[in-house]
Structure 1
Amino acid sequence: MMLTPVTLSELPDLLARFDRNLAADPSPLVPMARQVLARIGATMQYTPDEALTLSQDRRHQEQAVALVESFGMGVLWEPPTGGYTWDGQVMRVEMEPSVIVHDVAHLQVCAPERRTALDFGLGAGPETGLRGEADAAMTVFGAEREMEEALASLLGILWEVELDQPAICAFAEQNWLEGVDTPQARSHYLKILGHLHRFGLVDDAGHPTRALREQDDATFLSPLVTPLAA
């Protein structure tokens, strides 16, 4: 859910301010991070409307489903309100293309033992119908769950860029532009992008790879919840 509404006409200024904020950081990750931001911003040309609503384009949905299948995930053409978004074998794909791509990213960033868990062991997603059952299967909680969601969020957005889809809509909707002038927004973006890069989920230019995380939660997630993690 977008905390502060953003419109298409506001994006150029917000992105420019975020870029200036990033440029002020001494991290060696900054040049790549700014390139990534520029690529996300360039998808403004594909936005469906001023309100930055997620695409409903059938072609985008078909591209997203092809990405699902390319990772060996099964597909069921029905809405997740009838069950789970991901039941461990099959993704229900009658939903926005951005959400489908986001769940592919979840497959990549989750622990190996959770790839076949209901909704990746993170509890019910917004689209899941059998919420009680999905929540009962949750094994990641609190700040670690939030960090995994952030990793999947940014990685999914980067996949949307690769597919020439309006990634900027998800970037805004998932609050990456919240507080663009603050050190907190800058450090969070750099931390999440840096973690994806460190574990090979994005390459040196910030493009998503087809890697799947192999580390357990203690190794992969715990460092992200400490204030000084980078």
Structure 2
Amino acid sequence: MILTPITIDDLPALLHRFEHSLAGEDLARTVFRRIAASLDLVESDALSLSEDPRHHRQAVALCHRFHMETIDETPRAGFTWDGQAVRAGCEPSVIIHEVGHLQCASPDRRSVYDFGLGAGPETGRRAEADAAATVFGVERDQEEALASLQGILWEAALDQPAILAFIEQNWLEGGDRPENRAHFLKNLRILRHHGLIDEDGLPTERLREESSALRFYCV
């Protein structure tokens, strides 16, 4: 959920300033430009996540590429990810975000309710998802950020309006301040370090191999 509302009129200047803050970071600028360019695909001034049926079909197909089953009902009916299937009765961005989670989760948590991170915002059976959680605090926040960015990069690669999830998941909260720039760079470098994106910043189909915390401390 977005913390500070942004209007479509605010965006051009905000995006320009953030891109300018990435001077000297070629990969980050390439990735950010790809996300920012998806503003051209936004059809509503409301800046709400896409509900386009074509985007939904793409999101479901992406899950199937990763051998994730899908169930045509809302996550409120159970879990967003029940260890085998994604409940796909939600926005395409939410479905694609679960692919990001699959890629970032340690091997032992891929078959756990909501990847062992506790209940997601859309999960209905929250107590069970929270009881299955094994990752907490800073490590959980780090993995959530990585899955978020990975999902956004998939949206951009699929020619979906990735900028909407970028805003909704608060990647522009703080604008071009140094700490926000550092947060973006750190997470991008972690994804690259672990092979989840390629040298051009495009998402790969690799899955996390490590069981230890998915961190990379180069900033």
Q: Same fold (TM over 0.5)?
A: yes
Aligned to 2:14: 14
Paired letter, 2:126: R
Distance 2:43 2:122 in 1: 22
Matched, 1:178 2:162: no
Matched, 1:133 2:128: yes
2:189 paired residue among 170, 191, 194: 194
Aligned to 2:53: 58
Aligned to 2:37: 42
Distance 1:80 1:212 in 2: 24
Distance 1:81 1:20 in 2: 41
Kindly state the Cα deviation for residue 46 of structure 1 after the two structures are TM-superposed: 1.3
Aligned to 2:98: 103
Kindly state the Cα deviation for residue 217 of structure 1 after the two structures are TM-superposed: 2.5
Kindly state the Cα deviation for residue 47 of structure 1 after the two structures are TM-superposed: 1.2
Distance 2:87 2:64 in 1: 12
Trace 1:155-174 onto structure 2 (pairs within 5 A).
155-174=150-169
Distance 2:46 2:171 in 1: 16
Matched, 1:145 2:140: yes
Paired letter, 1:9: D
Distance 1:50 1:217 in 2: 42
Kindly state the Cα deviation for residue 181 of structure 1 after the two structures are TM-superposed: 2.2
Aligned to 1:2: 2
Kindly state the Cα deviation for residue 50 of structure 1 after the two structures are TM-superposed: 1.2
Q: Judge conservation of contact 1:21–1:180 (CA < 8 Å) in 2.
A: no
Identity of aligned residues (%): 56
Q: Greater shift after overlay, 113-122 or 174-183?
A: 174-183
Aligned to 2:203: 208
Distance 2:111 2:99 in 1: 13
Kindly state the Cα deviation for residue 10 of structure 1 after the two structures are TM-superposed: 1.4
Distance 2:97 2:46 in 1: 20
Matched, 1:119 2:114: yes
Moved over 4 A (4+): none
Please give the root-mean-square deviation of Cα atoms over the aligned residues, in Å.
1.1
Kindly state the Cα deviation for residue 89 of structure 1 after the two structures are TM-superposed: 0.6
Kindly state the Cα deviation for residue 21 of structure 1 after the two structures are TM-superposed: 1.1
Post-superposition CA distance 1:126-176 (Å, at most 9, x none): 111000000000000001100000000100000000111110000011111
- Secondary structure at the residue paired with 2:86? strand
Q: Judge conservation of contact 1:88–1:119 (CA < 8 Å) in 2.
A: yes
Post-superposition CA distance 1:198-221 (Å, at most 9, x none): 000000010000000001134x24
Distance 2:211 2:164 in 1: 31
TM-score by length of 2: 0.97
Post-superposition CA distance 1:58-107 (Å, at most 9, x none): 11101000000010011111111111111101111000000000000000
Paired letter, 1:109: C
TM-score by length of 1: 0.93
| Structure 1: 5+ residue stretches without partners | none
Distance 1:136 1:197 in 2: 32
Alignment coverage as a number of residue pairs: 219
